[in-house]
Amino acid sequence: MTVSSESDVDLAALIDRIPELVNGDAALVRRGRLTSVDLMLEVGAIPYYLSVRDGQVAGCQRGPLVMRSWSFAVRGSGQAWQKFWQLLPPPRFHDIFALAKFDEFRIEGDFRPLMTNLLYFKELIASPRLLAARTQR
């Protein structure tokens, strides 16, 4: 049995709020209205599966789930995700591709849906930053 640290719990709570954050942003949903895909965000050793349907996040499941398919995955350590989701991330932690360039994240799978809807997915993945902005008001 593995023991979760407090930061793991905090990250899980952030990820669980992604559907609410994305679906509550009409402009973001409109931007992704032609997008339907399953993706995986891996935080440390824990995979989270997000189902996007017509720009809305239809589901978010915590894994691992046996034989769960996904089109593309963004994988990184819990520490890298924490820095990425800060309101003002430190240098190199502001963008998923910057993190991949410096070996903090790995982006795997079918790049076509990611690159076709790049701004949508960048905003979706960065949406927990909105929570940091709300807490600093």
Rounded-to-integer distance, Cα 54 and Cα 35, Å: 5
Among 10, 45, 8, which Cα is nearest to 131's?
10
Mean pLDDT for all residues in the chain: 90
For the cut 70, the answer to whether the pLDDT of residue 107 exceeds it is yes
Task: Note the pLDDT tens digit of each residue in 25-57.
Answer: 999 999 999 999 999 999 999 999 999 999 999
The token duo for 33 is: 């209205």
39 has which bridge partners?
50, 72
Task: Note the pLDDT tens digit of each residue in 111-134.
Answer: 999 999 999 999 999 999 988 766
Q: How far apart are the first and last CA of the chain?
A: 39
Among 25, 85, 78, 27, which Cα is nearest to 48's?
78
Question: Is residue 52 a contact partner of residue 36, using CB atoms and an 8 Å limit?
Answer: yes
For the cut 70, the answer to whether the pLDDT of residue 58 exceeds it is yes
In the chain the domains, ranked by start, together with CATH numbers, are: 6-126 (3.30.1050.10)
Rounded-to-integer distance, Cα 79 and Cα 82, Å: 5
What is the pLDDT, as a whole number, of residue 9?
A: 52
